[in-house]
Structure 1
């Protein structure tokens, strides 16, 4: 994976340069360069689980909830802070498509693959300040219930709605209210063609209907985008970390050094001759490798990060391998066999990542929904001789 990113960065850096017009092979070289660039970007899209980049029309604003969630689980480079902070590896947000003046909502989740496992589904509603000033002394709490509206013809059932969640909410409160509706979304995803429609019913503690002026939730029709009703799905797409992925660290940022790993300990640089200095500089180490999404042309649909440092491993693994080279037992034995020239075809061990970290991508999908997804094995945390 990292070798591919290295190749991609090389081709992208070359993409801006054009052969001289005096060169007879100008057209051929330029065409081959574009083909390589196109192939490299297509392969990178596959790494991110996409066939084509999403087509976004105009400037879109991500929900504040998704921005806050991204900042909670990822650092400024997108690297995962703690693999246990996020449930699953994908979070999808959907805005209400019905835009009704009534307390009814409809969500289109057709972009969710049926292979994705629905872990948790939440309905996020923004409770507005009450308009009415009457009856405040009589009502301090209300019962808010979320129902799924059923297709009675399809289900052959006289019941036209099913209770999903219900709880008490203070009448005077304002802000986001979250209702868990996981089972409804799971069943809806299994039955193709059923429309997920939701209705919110507000009653007094005595069971009577509440005045809408007293209890109001923001709608997609009359209120700012930051307060629109939203369905949030926490899912798992089945991808799992490799053996190198760190899953037991409290924070990946605390163990990723910001500078290349040092070479093997030795005498002061002043006492080294040229060959020793060269050997140290060429020893296995981690070097920066920045992947710039804007340079690739993806800044229109990726919200965060703008790019990230993937790092890469480079250098030799000479005999004898010290512990600073982080060698495996197998690499140590291979190094000995090579040094003794017991088998001519055996080379020295290779300098490769021995710890990898995931990154998080916050982006718009084809339906302009905002998605937060974690991708495994994207950053070399450290390098060693293997």
Structure 2
């Protein structure tokens, strides 16, 4: 509960720096003051869900011991560090990646995916069909064909479209006959049409031919199906989308070669962190502040968000929690460059020190660099989703 309270407090501080959600602050504050602990917790969880773009948390799936696709785990580890913090905001295409398993659970040649969880407002960037090619049966391994042509077609409703064709070619390429492993085909065109009109989603058809154009024996070229093979090899649709949330301005302007930017990256994202002040110096500053009655200078402090404590561990795969950090401390006159003041904060500090206007306070200690985190989780349909959320980690603090 303490972690959650701190999270809400930190979120209020961050709103000063850059409003991102249009919530009326005063009515919420009055409601909290008049409510009991359970009501406050419920309201806080609801607000936190809104930050993650959800109305309600997805249903927990831990009791079913369902494993996320290895592809999604690998993708998460590529774009995020151990705490979920984004390594590079441009590694991921868009800000959302979803994986869908074949709902038809057909044998080999036809596949269908339920895309009802994709909002129509989302921009479809890339859609990939992942098929696992099985090894050829031993009795048929000797064959004069070394390559085959694999073509992916979108099935069409010829009666509805007033067209004679019953399928549209989406992707086609040569693959080795005797290979095994994942094969990926781009089918973006079909998925865009399906999300625009759900009724047009009649599925996909896979056709395997020899280089000469004749149909090949399906016993020689086999793909894993949703009916007869382990989940780790089942046909999968991977969808890259953008839900319209803008990238963080602090991330967009960040140049990885800029030493000033590197110096304020979260420590978990740095190969060899070199914090500007060690723990002893921070303790000394705090002790001095307590003795003199002054506040410690503006600095970044830990704020760990534990998803298990909040009750979300049943549907979140990774991370189990993350360090959001928060900013705390005073911004006394004169403001040194180590406090990363803006010009406005410097002027405000001077006006306050000279007591030119009595109502002017000292500048506030707030985050001046914010970084995104990545969440890997199960949605209500048990699809695995990788989503990137902006402005979730205070990278550094300054006087503003």
How many Å apart are 1:7 and its aligned residue? Answer: 7.2
1:313 aligns with 2:323: no
Distance 1:342 1:46, change over 3 A: same
Match of residue 233 from structure 2: 227
Tell me how far apart the structure 1 counterparts of residues 364 and 145 of structure 2 sit (CA, whole Å): 72
Q: Normalized per residue, which structure has more helix?
A: 2
Query: C-alpha offsets along residues 217-264 of structure 1, whole Å, 9 cap, x if unaligned?
Result: 000111110001000000000101343345534498982236997679
SS in 2 for 1:324: helix
SS in 1 for 2:218: coil
Q: 1:236, 1:140 → 2: CA distance?
A: 40
Match in the other structure for 1:292? 306
Deviations 1:303-341 (A, max 9, x none): 000000000000000000000000001100000000000
Give 1:196 shift.
4.1
Q: Distance in 2 between matches of 1:188 and 1:98?
A: 16
TM-score, normalised with respect to structure 1 = 0.87
Q: Distance in 1 between matches of 2:132 and 2:299?
A: 51
**Which residue does the alignment assign to 1:352?**
366
Offset from partner CA, 1:32-58 (integer Å, 9 cap, x none)? 100100110011111101111111342
Q: Post-superposition shift, 1:369?
A: 0.2
1:323 maps to which residue?
337
Counterpart pick for 1:335 among 342, 349, 353:
349
Deviations, residues 56-110 of structure 1 (Å, cap 9, x unaligned):
3422210000000000000010000001100000001000001111311000001
Q: 1:91 aligns with which of 97, 101, 104?
A: 97
In 2, Cα distance between equivalents of 1:382 and 1:123:
41
Q: CA deviation at 1:191?
A: 1.9
Matched residues in 2 for 1:282 and 1:44: separation? 29
Against the structure 1 CA distance between its residues 282 and 113, is the aligned structure 2 distance closer, same or farther, given a 3 Å change threshold?
same
Q: Which residue of 2 aligns with 1:366?
A: 380
1:257 equivalent to 2:257? Answer: no
Distance 2:299 2:106 in 1: 59
CA RMSD after TM alignment: 2.9
Gaps of 5+ in 1: 9-28
Give the structure 1 partner of residue 393 of structure 2: 379
C-alpha displacement at 1:31, in angstroms? Answer: 7.5
Give the number of equivalent residue pairs.
Answer: 363
TM-score with structure 2 setting the length: 0.84
Match of 1:167 among 168, 173, 189: 173
